Amino acid sequence: MLNTKLEFAKKVVRQAGGFIRQHLSDDLEISEKTHFDDLVTNLDREVQEQILTQILSTFPKDHVLAEENDVRHDIKDGNVWVLDPIDGTTNFIVQRDNFAVMLAYYESGIGKIGVILDVMSDNLYWGDGTSAYKNEAQIHLTVKPLRQSLIGVNTYMYRTNAGGLLDLSHESLGVRAIGSAGIEYVNILEGKIWGYFSNLSPWDYAAGAVLIAPFGYITQQIDGRPLAFEGRQMMMSVPSNQLDKIKAYIK
C-alpha cells in the first residue's frame, strides 16, 4: 500500500508542476492573507484543490492537512497527507522561479512519504524515510562539518539572533536564504547547505523532514523539543551527529 501511495504522490505532484508551468504567463489573481507580504494566488488554491480531490477520491479514508482554506487534520490521527500546493509563493509571483510543490504522508504522526518538486527545473525529490531519490537516481549524501559548510536561514531569525542563529553562523562559511522551505530541503539533499533554520508551519517541513532523514538529519524545534505539526514554530533540520557541537550556540 505504501508503494501505491508513493507512486500516487509522485504522480500528482508532477502533474501539479506541469499545470503550474502551463499557466506561468497567465495574469495571476493575487490576494493578501494576513498582511501585504503574505500572498496567495489563484494557482495556489487551484493546485491544492486538484491534489486534495485526487487524494480523497483515491484514498477516501485518509485525511489532509493543507495550507490553504483551513484544511487542518491532526497529524497524529490516522493516515494524513500534508500538502503545500506552492511553497515560495512570493518567489513564484516575483521571480517565477525558486518555488516547489510539496506533499508528505504520515501515519499516526510518523512520516512515511516525502515528495518535493522543484517546479522550474522539474526535478522530483522523493523518499520513504529510509532512502531518497532525485528523479530515478538514488541520492548519496556525505555531510561535511559545519566549518566547511553553508547554512540556510530565515532572515528575521538570523538578523535578530533568534535561537542563537547569528552566533552559530560564525561557525559556518556563511548563510543563504532562498525564500522557499522546499528549495532549502532540495539544497540539503544536493549537499549545497548543511542545515536549515526557520520559523515554519507543518506543510513547510513535513515532506523535507522525511526526505533528509535517511542521511542522519533530525527536524525539531530549535530548543530541542519535537515539532508539534500545528502553528508556526522556530525549527531546525540538522545532522543529528553534530547536534552536540551546535548546542553551545543554539538555544
Residues forming contacts to ligand IPD in the complex (CB under 6 A) are 67, 84, 87-89, 154, 179-181, 198, 200, 204
Q: Compare residues 128 and 204 and give the one whose CB is closer to Ca ion.
A: 204
Instruction: Collapse the DSSP code of 56 into the 3-class scheme (helix H, G, I; strand E, B; otherwise coil) and give the result.
Output: helix
Q: Compare residues 187 and 198 and give the one whose CB is closer to ligand IPD.
A: 198
Question: Rounded to whole angstroms, how far apart are CA atoms 114 and 11?
Answer: 13
Question: Rounded to whole angstroms, how far apart are CA atoms 227 and 177?
Answer: 22
Q: Which three cell numbers stand for residue 50?
A: 486538484
Q: Compare residues 92 and 217 and give the one whose CB is closer to ligand IPD.
A: 92
154 binds, among ligand IPD, Ca ion, none (CB under 5 to 8 A by kind): ligand IPD
Compute the least distance from the CB of residue 80 to Ca ion, in Å: 17
Q: Compare residues 67 and 118 and give the one whose CB is closer to ligand IPD.
A: 67
180 binds, among ligand IPD, Ca ion, none (CB under 5 to 8 A by kind): ligand IPD
Residue 97 assigned ligand-binding role: no
Compute the least distance from the CB of residue 138 to Ca ion, in Å: 27
Compute the least distance from the CB of residue 1 to ligand IPD, in Å: 29
- Residue 183 and residue 100 in contact, taking contact as beta carbons nearer than 8 Å: yes
Taking the CA of residue 101 as centre, how many other CA atoms within 13 Å lie in the half-sphere pointing to its CB?
29
Residue 67 assigned ligand-binding role: yes
Contacts of 232 by beta carbon, 8 Å cutoff, 6+ apart: 199, 200, 201
Compute the least distance from the CB of residue 198 to ligand IPD, in Å: 5
Question: Rounded to whole angstroms, how far apart are CA atoms 56 and 36?
Answer: 33
Question: Rounded to whole angstroms, how far apart are CA atoms 113 and 64?
Answer: 14
Q: Which residues bind Ca ion (CB under 5 A)?
A: 67, 84, 87, 204
Residue 204 assigned ligand-binding role: yes
Instruction: Collapse the DSSP code of 183 into the 3-class scheme (helix H, G, I; strand E, B; otherwise coil) and give the result.
Output: helix
Residue 84 assigned ligand-binding role: yes
- Residue 233 and residue 209 in contact, taking contact as beta carbons nearer than 8 Å: no
Annotated binding site: 67, 84, 86-87, 204
Detail the residues annotated as belonging to a binding site for Mg(2+): 67, 84, 86-87, 204
